[in-house]
Structure 1
Amino acid sequence: MTDSPAEARDYRGTVFLPKTSFPMKGDLPKREPAMLERWARLNIWERLRAQSKGRETFVLHDGPPYANGNLHIGHALNKILKDVINRAAQMAGKDANYVPGWDCHGLPIEWKVEEEYRAKGRDKDAVPVLDFRAECRAYAQHWLDVQREEFIRLGVFGDWANRYATMDFDSEAAIAGEIGKFLLNGSLYRGLRPVMWSPVEKTALAEAEIEYHDHVSPTLHAKFRILKAAAKDLLGADVVIWTTTPWTMPGNRAVAYGPEVDYALLHVEGVAEGSLLKVGDRLLVALPLLPGFEKEAGIGAHTVRRVLKGAELEGAIAAHPLRGRGYDFDVPLLPGDFVTTEAGTGFVHIAPGHGEDDFNLGRQFGLPIPETVNDDGTFTMHAPGFEGLHVFKAHTAIYAAMREAGTLAATGKLTHSYPHSWRSKKPVIFRTTPQWFIGMDDANAIRAKAREAIARTHFVPEAGRNRLDSMIAARPDWCISRQRAWGVPIPVFVSKQSGEPLRDPAIIERVVEAFRAEGADAWYKPGAAARFLGPDRDPALYEQVMDIVDVWFESGSTHAFVLRQRGLPFPADLYLEGSDQHRGWFHSSLLESVGTNGVAPFKAVLTHGFTLDEQGRKMSKSLGNTTAPQDVLKQYGADILRLWVMNTDVTEDQRIGPEILKQQAELYRRIRNTLRWLLGSLDGFSDAETVPYAELPELERWVLHRLTELDARIRRAVETHDWTGVYPEIHHFCATDLSAFYFDIRKDALYCDRPDSARRRAARTVLDVLHRCLCKWLAPVLVFTAEEAWLARFPDEEGSVHLLDFMFVPEGWKDEALAAKWARIRELRGLVTAELEKARAAGTIGSSLQAAPGLCLAGPDAGLLAPEAWAEVAITSGFAVLAAPEGAAPSAAFAPAPGAKCARCWRVLPEVGRSAKHPTLCLRCEDAVESQA
């Protein structure tokens, strides 16, 4: 007896709809911490190391972040990118041991401890040095611990239990040993050089510790009266200089001119109201710069008496503008190849203590180098009339003194880019002081060797090569000394008699042994000099150097105590940091390693850009446009942040903000839904269902071909370290190739075919491969989600996707001809889809299954697929392939599907109603239902 229409049977229970415990909602902020606890409980990291023994090693050496405050978004990007690369290398079959580390010494931490002192009214200088160092160590340890937990929360795998820190005793000992190598090979020397000096922090700074900000500087035009010259018409005339640092005038000892520059001998015949010049003044100014000077100095009528080449000034002597006020020395006019006519007056006042060109010219001509400025930026007794004034507040007094002397030609202000300390955010000065340097061009030829090493290094992006090389080519000798307390001391003794450093391997050995046992504090303990000099030397005859080493030297030498001491390969496979590290860690690491090992410490260098807000602006607390990783984790979870990292071109500056994070969450949702549908459609799958490759339909073989393309893309990224576009490509594969095409087509077979049908088994065979591939390919990035999707199908209490390698994708799955064929099929399918959409918009149909469209095809297109295969691909109930005239463009036409709607698969077919037992089903669905009976 058949069912009457009123009693039509409900066949929904016979449809094989997806079934999985993997939820649609990620709920990552809640799930991720539990996953971290599971990994820790299962000792996943230790198990990885054990099972990887004997594999080819891969080492990404960690550039140490600074242990000072919570992580910012730049830290997150850097560490996530490193983690993805490490995990991918591990899953590609390598032993990727990653040792994270921290930079713990130096001024930023001292500065914070001093701020705490100032807040409590304590005097830092009254605190014993060992007590102060202990407080700095405790401060660094606190933030190291905080940052370690924040990195772990981001899902970063690493040897956290055995992390490195520059303040570890072993590290301090190794750093001292590296300094000793430069001392013993002759590259380390003490010399007088101009360095960037921070008056606020009272120390020299490296170029990498400098940032440039707009700054308003007072300007000065000063007159130097010519006392002696070969040409008599120059006697009594005034050379005019221009400077943006009036405070350097007390340190002036010469004036530089350009030998080939044309200078005008100017006679002033009229001046504007308020001008500091007077009628009758005779001035020397570069001819090209004369118009600008006339305007600034308020010159009216004037006559150029003659034009002369700078070379005519050879041997000329001038008077200091403050002559008679303690500056009664002669000021020679000297040729300088750095003098230009781009700005100013064409004359440069030379203060050998306050500029590199000034210093070099002074050394060339034997000029004295007066110490006019103290460590704190105030004038010394060698700046008569200005003692105790701070250099940045001295211009008013200098103006007044020169106005009184009649040598002030003009004053003004200039807004320009000026160097500031990146820590205190205060402007710095050039100051010539005795410092310790590593020579770039001595017998060890560090510069030349470094540039050769750069030529052999792989760079991502390639532009990094030229950037680093140009910096190495132009840099001066490396100033490694700092006048602070928290760091590794430069373990050197200097003979008071000869002024030369002791170059004794035994001293270095004693220092290293002591530092390894007690830390660098040993250098500051009572009796340290006698202890390290040994019994054969009198400490009274030697100066114990109390400067600490530049923190960039410390971080640059990390390879010495992280790689070799831990049995890791040297050089490292990869160094990875932000683009600012071309002048920072990449730079110092290269110089340090070349100086001690003769080779670079890295085989490859990957550089990422800076993180900006959504409008492309630099992030700033004052602008309120920062994105804190901690906030992202609370709202979205780490996997969203990790996906953002890998969806950007990290070699360029990246943008992040609320809208961008929403977009990433949407991309994540699509990937998660892909995994969920795969898991649901694989419910109950067993190996017994597997169909051999040769028996798979073309559509399934096309999917496997796509897997070979993605597999090759990922493995190429592993080898080249260039991951740009890889995960966007995987997302596109999930969203376009799978969800919008393959899954869409195969849903009918998976839901409605009988379980043992060849088509359904073939599809599930490929779904099995897809699940395994995608979980593993996503595992380096979506570390939590991939694990969840793996365990949802393989619920092993001891298992983890992170213990596995990438899937082996056979080369035989690659089929370029098949790929080309299906690319054409998808193009033609687009014509059909467009017609179906028109019919849907017109209300003619609601579903594509109500249609039986046709394609007019000619030539090879006509034989691509049979009509029933086209119906399957177009997701319609029927299809017609019509012959088009040769050479005609393909076209599609809509037609309604004849017949009735199957109550189970919803296809509209003439056969529906023929079954006596199941009159509302098509024949395929009847067979499927009966097979379940």
Structure 2
Amino acid sequence: MTDTPEKIDYSKTLYLPETEFPMRAGLPQKEPEMAAKWKQMGLYKKLRASAAGREKFVLHDGPPYANGNIHIGHALNKVLKDVITRSFQMRGFDSNYVPGWDCHGLPIEWKIEEKYREKGKDKNEVPVNEFRKECREFAQGWINIQSDEFRRLGIEGDFDNPYTTMAFHSEARIAGELLKIAMSGQLYRGSKPIMWSVVERTALAEAEVEYAEVESDTIWVKFPVKDVRGALQLRGGDGAHAVADAVADTKALNELLQASVVIWTTTPWTIPGNRAISYSSKIEYGLYEITEATNDFGPQPGEKLIFAKRLAEDAANKAKVTFKLVRDVTGAELGAITCAHPLADLGYTFAVPMLDGDHVTDDAGTGFVHTAPSHGREDFEAWMANVRALEARGIDVKIPFPVDDAGFYTEDAPGFGPSAEGGAARVLDDNGKKGDANKRVMDALIKTNNLFARGRIKHEYPHSWRSKKPVIFRNTPQWFVYMDKELGDGTTLRTRALSAIDQTRFVPAGGQNRLRAMIEQRPDWVLSRQRAWGVPICVFADAEGNVLQDEKVNARILEAFEVEGADAWFAEGAKERFLAGEHDGEKWQMVTDILDVWFDSGSTHTFTLEDRPDLKWPADVYLEGSDQHRGWFHSSLLESCATRGRAPYNAVVTHGFTMAEDGRKMSKSLGNTVTPQEVMSQSGADILRLWVMNTDYWEDQRLGKTIIQTNIDSYRKIRNTVRWMLGTLAHDHGDEIAYADLPELEKLMLHRLAELDQIVRKGYDEFDFKRIVRALSDFANVELSAFYFDIRKDTLYCDAPSSLKRRSALFVIRKLFDCLVLWFAPMMPFTTEEAWLSRDPNAESVHLEQFPTVPAEWSNEAVAEKWKGVRAVRRAVTGALEIERKEKRIGSSLEAAPVVHVADAELLKALDGLDFAEICITSDIQVVAGEGPSEAFRLDDGTKVAVEPKLAEGTKCARSWKITKDVGSDPDYPDVSARDAQALRELAQAAG
């Protein structure tokens, strides 16, 4: 009786993947540990040391505000910046990222004031520098918190030495930039209508304002014609023609003198500030007479009124009257008219001239614009454009100050100011609620019979983005920088800025036109704010607003700021200290306003890019949200052009805003907000970063549970590809295979790496990250997992150690791993670090590596073109076998041995010399020329390939599971194929 041979466990003889790199990432737990490790090992310093001497690439960080936890917008912004700096660092640059924070200004000051109010404490009773100290401590606390939150996102930078606008050196440099502007004559004190927050008691810049829908009072007001001059002089002549002309002119004159010009406004409270009426000579106007009236107050039959013809009927309906057109009114006639103020009985006895203005339209209202130069930019500009002509007519051109900083009328508003019955009316109260100003003005207009109609309207109105309360336009003395003053070299600040925009690269390109339009239209730059926390406008001025020009005084100021910070300006005895007895202290007064925080952030390029030896000026790129065309991009451009004549950046990249999954704005009240902290705690920072990379970030993007899950699924596919490569490379001995010795399939994969290298580098250069992710993900999922790896698994698992094909595959997989992990490293720093160290535990960090150098010989168009044909035929075979599996005629493709009919000579040629069964993952295959039988499987794409599914003949190999006729041909290994028998023999010999 013979013994039964012991059954061999062939799975132990296969080179199956082996790795400790887990399928489940566990990112929420691993990432904080990795971030702590990077901090402990000093990764940032190692990066700087490794890049020493390289060409610098600098992305200058736009400073977030230090007053709260980071939100999804911060995460989007910082991830984009991190990916850019990492990608340039890994491409041979010294790409240093220095984070920064904006620390001054109203939001922080407001928080401290709220704390005071809770304690019943008055801010004005606290020494100013004590108050500023509390603001400084508040900002520093949030800098510390945000710094940790940014690091948790995987952001790498100089967090131990960031820049802050409140650092003493920063405040000294900001002050220095202001003094440069002052000494060059660009700074002046003026009076203009600006946006004013009654709630916060300060001027606001356009960038500090957002728009929200409100319902407002709207009124139509009659301005009685008082005089008609110039254009209606009686014409001379003889005889009947002269008499006829005189009669016609006299009639026209009398008609106008009996009429009223009607304006429309949504701000009744600005009527006391009215000084003119604007019209457009391009609009058709008419003189109308009321024939019927059914209103409770206002216009009555017989009254004559002037309207834009297009708007007359609508106005009549509002006032519940019926009109008839008396005649057309020309632009020349309108220009000759002077009106009386509708509140003349209250003391507004001045003449109200008519001004021709391009800003007037007949889209809504009456075709006339009530012009109050104290309360609107266009009103102010229309008034100033006509100052000389008005003065020649004897009109007082002084612009009044009708409203004070608390929203009350002043004595410049007779009948409504402090001496009026009932005291001063108020536009807005301390909580941003409407005061009694509108009602009192409308009541007065009714009393004088000059209110034509009234109503309510919903419209967009400016609000402070901090307090969320409405603002008003009011004329105030402020400090400005000229936009159009000639600067001694034939340029102005505006022309310099426009020239700089033309020389700047914008991504996306539309940002250039947006910023250009803003610069073209913007008024002079308002620098002053009436607050306490910030860098002061550290100049001395006389009563006329002239600035003291003394470099020795300036030097003393800057020296003090460098040592003590801007608090030195507010310290006791500061005036005497800085003037040092060299100037008349009675004549020269310290300005107590502070600088607009946009000037602070607009100056950051000076104390970061210029002053830090690890950076350079100008920056290669600024990157922020698209709102910063009117914010940081804008103020940085103006500040730098004012002091250096060019922009502080070479390129501007903008991103959109993150909306909820349904496209609506994220809102706590709607419960649709997504926080970065929540995503990181549940899924990991790399998932959040992958979402950023997958978005069209140039536009507004969306985020929610479904979108996060989509990115988790995408991440898993990438991770599984990396995991399989790591497992396979556990058997790699690092053999280098000459390119000429590689099989064609391996050459194809290297060609694809050469193509991807171009896509990746171009994508990083163009900040087009979605293109990179899509290309690499598709490659990993489609060309690797579903094609190359699938084909080569048999070779990798089963071939003998000496197999050139196997060693070639390992060589190529090593290159694939290196390329994919390094290319993905800027985007997913945690996962790629884990993979890199799993491959080589002795490595320091993937982030200290460079992108791989792709040899020129890898690019092989001939192989690529040939394999397009190979893959086309393979798709036909795969399609046929899929049907066989579905019909359960085969279990796996290794049970098949199809006959493939190829009628295309070029396709047939492409298959020559290839083991096509291996490529199709079948046990055998027969390729023949010709059309093939009609019942054979064909694809619908027109490929001239027909497939007859056949079953493989022979015995199933116990080791590779291929069905072949040579199983048992080696007597030492009776249940495996000859190939597998050779592999087993080599393995046995290697084992000794």
TM-score (norm 1): 0.97
Deviation at 1:78, TM superposition (A): 0.6
Deviation at 1:141, TM superposition (A): 0.7
Matched, 1:759 2:781: no
Q: Indicate the residue corresponding to 2:466 in structure 1.
A: 423
The 1-side partners of 2:403 and 2:666 are apart by: 36
Preserved contact between residue 64 and residue 100 of structure 2 (Cα < 8 Å): yes
Deviation at 1:336, TM superposition (A): 2.7
Which letter does structure 2 place at the counterpart of 1:823? K
Deviation at 1:868, TM superposition (A): 5.9
Deviation at 1:3, TM superposition (A): 8.7
The 2-side partners of 1:929 and 1:462 are apart by: 63
Q: Indicate the residue corresponding to 2:133 in structure 1.
A: 134
Matched, 1:558 2:558: no
Moved more, 566-575 or 306-315: 306-315
Q: 1:864 aligns with which of 888, 910, 916?
A: 910
The residue correspondences of 1:793-808 to structure 2 (distance < 5 A) are 793-796=839-842, 799-808=844-853
Matched, 1:890 2:945: yes
Preserved contact between residue 99 and residue 163 of structure 1 (Cα < 8 Å): yes
Preserved contact between residue 189 and residue 479 of structure 2 (Cα < 8 Å): yes
Deviation at 1:71, TM superposition (A): 0.3
Q: 1:579 aligns with which of 611, 622, 626?
A: 626
Matched, 1:305 2:363: no
Deviations 1:6-51 (A, max 9, x none): x653311111110011111110111111111211221111111112
Q: Indicate the residue corresponding to 1:671 in structure 2.
A: 718
The 2-side partners of 1:632 and 1:148 are apart by: 18
Which letter does structure 1 place at the counterpart of 2:228? A
The residue correspondences of 1:810-825 to structure 2 (distance < 5 A) are 810-825=855-870
Secondary structure at the residue paired with 2:344?
Answer: coil
Matched, 1:544 2:599: no
Q: Indicate the residue corresponding to 1:442 in structure 2.
A: 485
Q: Indicate the residue corresponding to 1:332 in structure 2.
A: 353
The 2-side partners of 1:795 and 1:344 are apart by: 75
The 2-side partners of 1:614 and 1:762 are apart by: 47
Matched, 1:702 2:702: no
Deviation at 1:753, TM superposition (A): 0.9
Deviation at 1:164, TM superposition (A): 0.3
Secondary structure at the residue paired with 1:751?
Answer: helix
The 2-side partners of 1:157 and 1:876 are apart by: 49
The 1-side partners of 2:415 and 2:565 are apart by: 47
Matched, 1:253 2:298: no
The residue correspondences of 1:288-299 to structure 2 (distance < 5 A) are 288-299=310-321
* Structure 1: unaligned runs, 5 residues or longer: none
Moved more, 911-920 or 623-632: 911-920
The 2-side partners of 1:844 and 1:717 are apart by: 47
Preserved contact between residue 868 and residue 879 of structure 1 (Cα < 8 Å): no
Q: Indicate the residue corresponding to 1:370 in structure 2.
A: 400
Q: 2:979 aligns with which of 920, 924, 932?
A: 924
Q: Indicate the residue corresponding to 2:425 in structure 1.
A: 389
Give the aligned length: 928
Preserved contact between residue 60 and residue 86 of structure 1 (Cα < 8 Å): yes
Preserved contact between residue 649 and residue 725 of structure 1 (Cα < 8 Å): no
Deviation at 1:823, TM superposition (A): 2.4
Relative to structure 1, the CA distance from residue 594 to residue 722 in structure 2 (aligned partners, 3 Å threshold; closer, same or farther) is farther
Deviation at 1:127, TM superposition (A): 2.3
Q: Indicate the residue corresponding to 1:119 in structure 2.
A: 118
Preserved contact between residue 694 and residue 769 of structure 2 (Cα < 8 Å): no
Deviations 1:813-836 (A, max 9, x none): 111221122222222211111111
Q: Indicate the residue corresponding to 2:178 in structure 1.
A: 179
Q: Indicate the residue corresponding to 1:642 in structure 2.
A: 689
The 2-side partners of 1:382 and 1:672 are apart by: 72
Q: 1:344 aligns with which of 365, 368, 384?
A: 365
Which letter does structure 1 place at the counterpart of 2:31? E
Deviation at 1:273, TM superposition (A): 4.4
Secondary structure at the residue paired with 1:881?
Answer: strand
Q: Indicate the residue corresponding to 1:625 in structure 2.
A: 672
Matched, 1:493 2:540: yes
Which letter does structure 2 place at the counterpart of 1:352? P
The residue correspondences of 1:61-140 to structure 2 (distance < 5 A) are 61-140=60-139
The 2-side partners of 1:775 and 1:764 are apart by: 16
Preserved contact between residue 57 and residue 88 of structure 2 (Cα < 8 Å): yes
The 1-side partners of 2:479 and 2:595 are apart by: 9
Relative to structure 1, the CA distance from residue 433 to residue 888 in structure 2 (aligned partners, 3 Å threshold; closer, same or farther) is closer
Q: 2:409 aligns with which of 379, 398, 416?
A: 379
Preserved contact between residue 763 and residue 771 of structure 2 (Cα < 8 Å): no
The 1-side partners of 2:198 and 2:159 are apart by: 38
Deviation at 1:600, TM superposition (A): 1.2
Q: Indicate the residue corresponding to 1:283 in structure 2.
A: 305
Q: 2:445 aligns with which of 402, 409, 418?
A: 402
The 1-side partners of 2:728 and 2:452 are apart by: 87
Q: Indicate the residue corresponding to 2:892 in structure 1.
A: 847
Secondary structure at the residue paired with 2:901?
Answer: strand
Q: Indicate the residue corresponding to 2:958 in structure 1.
A: 903
Deviation at 1:602, TM superposition (A): 0.8
Relative to structure 1, the CA distance from residue 2 to residue 768 in structure 2 (aligned partners, 3 Å threshold; closer, same or farther) is farther
The 2-side partners of 1:846 and 1:275 are apart by: 92
Q: Indicate the residue corresponding to 1:720 in structure 2.
A: 766
The 2-side partners of 1:345 and 1:2 are apart by: 115
Deviations 1:278-298 (A, max 9, x none): 222221111111111111111
Preserved contact between residue 253 and residue 368 of structure 1 (Cα < 8 Å): no
Relative to structure 1, the CA distance from residue 516 to residue 888 in structure 2 (aligned partners, 3 Å threshold; closer, same or farther) is closer
Preserved contact between residue 16 and residue 752 of structure 1 (Cα < 8 Å): yes
Deviation at 1:888, TM superposition (A): 8.0
Q: What is the root-mean-square deviation in Å for CA atoms of aligned residues? A: 1.8
Preserved contact between residue 169 and residue 516 of structure 1 (Cα < 8 Å): yes
Deviation at 1:907, TM superposition (A): 1.1
The 2-side partners of 1:350 and 1:332 are apart by: 10
Deviation at 1:431, TM superposition (A): 1.4
Which letter does structure 1 place at the counterpart of 2:464? S
The 1-side partners of 2:870 and 2:579 are apart by: 83
The 1-side partners of 2:280 and 2:13 are apart by: 95
Deviations 1:305-336 (A, max 9, x none): 22111321334232222221232333233333
The residue correspondences of 1:729-740 to structure 2 (distance < 5 A) are 729-740=775-786
Matched, 1:830 2:852: no
* Structure 2: unaligned runs, 5 residues or longer: 230-252, 392-396, 418-423, 428-433, 933-941
Deviation at 1:2, TM superposition (A): 9.8
Secondary structure at the residue paired with 2:217?
Answer: strand
Secondary structure at the residue paired with 1:852?
Answer: coil
Preserved contact between residue 193 and residue 434 of structure 1 (Cα < 8 Å): yes
Deviation at 1:259, TM superposition (A): 3.1
TM-score (norm 2): 0.91
Identity %: 52
Q: Indicate the residue corresponding to 2:161 in structure 1.
A: 162
Q: Indicate the residue corresponding to 1:412 in structure 2.
A: 455
Q: 1:242 aligns with which of 264, 281, 301?
A: 264
Relative to structure 1, the CA distance from residue 868 to residue 370 in structure 2 (aligned partners, 3 Å threshold; closer, same or farther) is closer
Which letter does structure 1 place at the counterpart of 2:702? R
The 2-side partners of 1:104 and 1:636 are apart by: 32
Matched, 1:19 2:28: no
Secondary structure at the residue paired with 2:321?
Answer: coil
Relative to structure 1, the CA distance from residue 413 to residue 768 in structure 2 (aligned partners, 3 Å threshold; closer, same or farther) is same
Matched, 1:527 2:570: no
